[in-house]
Amino acid sequence: MFGIKKKYDFYVGGPMRGYKNLNKAMFAMVAHILRTKGFTVWSPSEHDGYLKLSFAQCMTVDLNAVINQCRKIVLLPGWKDSLGANMEAFSAFACGKEAVEVVPNENNTDFDLEPLSLSEYRLPYQTGKTRQFNPHECDLDSFEPTR
């Protein structure tokens, strides 16, 4: 159903749930502008079959795209408040992908891309003290730096 065969320059990650029409306008604007600049784009909002899938099924497709099919991830405004987008961002970071954030103009008709450093990623949705770690500097069984 969602077999992704080709490689893409960008995966578009961002919040959907809780947004009007699943935030499709922002996803579409970013994908369109990136394509007009010659980039190839995988955007989950362009696949209506997602409406029939569970969150877990969507994340399986999305994370496969992030990890195996896309060179970079572009993150939409509000991504830090989205569980799915956090999972996508973390997966991209753990696999050594480049990440950029969309900074839209005041009319939401164009945007700038700002480099996003994920070298000290804060794990989302934790209570109490947040923990920073760099997965490139720790073993698989511990978040403590080993180098």
- Domain ranges in the chain are 8-137
The pair of structure tokens assigned to 33 is 């502008």
The pLDDT, as a whole number, for residue 146 is: 56
The pLDDT, as a whole number, for residue 54 is: 81
**CA distances to 16, 31, 76, 92, 96 from 23, in Å:** 5, 13, 10, 21, 27
The pLDDT, as a whole number, for residue 41 is: 98
The reply to whether CATH 3.40.50.450 applies to domain 8-137 is: yes
pTM, two decimals, is 0.78
Length of the chain: 147
What are residue 118's DSSP bridge partners? none
| Residuewise pLDDT in 10s, the chain (147 residues) | 455 567 999 999 999 888 898 899 999 999 999 999 999 999 999 987 777 788 888 889 999 999 999 999 999 999 988 888 999 999 998 898 999 999 999 988 889 999 987 665 565 544 455 556 554 454 433 445 655
